[in-house]
Amino acid sequence: MTITGPETIKRTAGQPVVLPTWRQLQVLSGVARGYKNVEIAGHLRVARPTVQRHVDRLGKSLGTGERAQMVAIGYERGWLARLSPEPREWVVLTGRCQDVLRLIAEGRSNEQIADELYVSVNTVKSHVRRILNVLQARHRAHAVALAYQHGHLRRRPGPPPDRQGPGRAA
C-alpha cells in the first residue's frame, strides 16, 4: 500500500518532526534536479551505493519508496523551497496531465493512476510521457520538482514548513 504525500502529512501532524540529515537533503536535491544516483554520487564525491542508502533511509522515514513522492514531501515541508527553479518556458498542462502529475506526486504507480482515473495503463503511460516531454523532465521525480518550481503543483496550506532544512543545494 502506498501512502500519499498528503496522507503522510496528516499522519505526522502534531508528531515530533524527524528531519532528514543534511546529506539526505543534498541527495533529495539531486533527485529533484533530475540526476541519477551516479551523477549525485559524483557531485557529492561519495560512492553510488551511499547515495542509494540515503534515498532508502529518507524513504523509510517518510513512509514511501517513491522518489517522486519524496520530492513532493520535500517541497510540502519546505525542505526544497530554497532550491532555485530551473529555467523553463511556461507551459500549459491539460487537466488530465495535471491529474496524472498530482497522482505521481502522491506516489502512485501507473496502474494505481489508471484505476483512479478509469483509464488504461497505456493511456497513463502516454500522459506520463507527455508530462516528461512538456516539462523537459528526466524522470517522474524531476517532473514533480519542476511542477512545484513552476506552479503546476502548489504547496498545500497548513503548518509552516520546517525551517531547519538546507539552504540552496545541488
pLDDT of residue 159 exceeding 60, the answer is no
Give domain 5-10+19-76's CATH number out of 1.20.120.450, 1.10.10.10, 3.30.465.10, 1.10.1740.10: 1.10.10.10
What's the CATH architecture for 95-149? Answer: Orthogonal Bundle (1.10)
Q: What is the pLDDT of residue 19?
A: 86
Predicted confidence (pLDDT) per residue in 65-101, tens digit: 999 999 999 999 999 999 999 999 989 999 999 999 9
Q: How far apart are CA 136 and CA 150, in angstroms?
A: 12
Instruction: Please give the grid coordinates belonging to residue 118.
Output: 478509469
Quote the CA–CA distance of 133 and 135 in Å, as a whole number: 6
Say what the pTM is: 0.82
Residue pair 135/92 in contact by the 8 Å Cβ criterion: no
Q: What is the pLDDT of residues 114-139, one digit of tens each?
A: 999 999 999 999 999 999 999 999 99
For residue 134, how far is the Cα from the chain centroid? 17
Q: Which residue has the higher pLDDT, 139 or 15?
A: 139
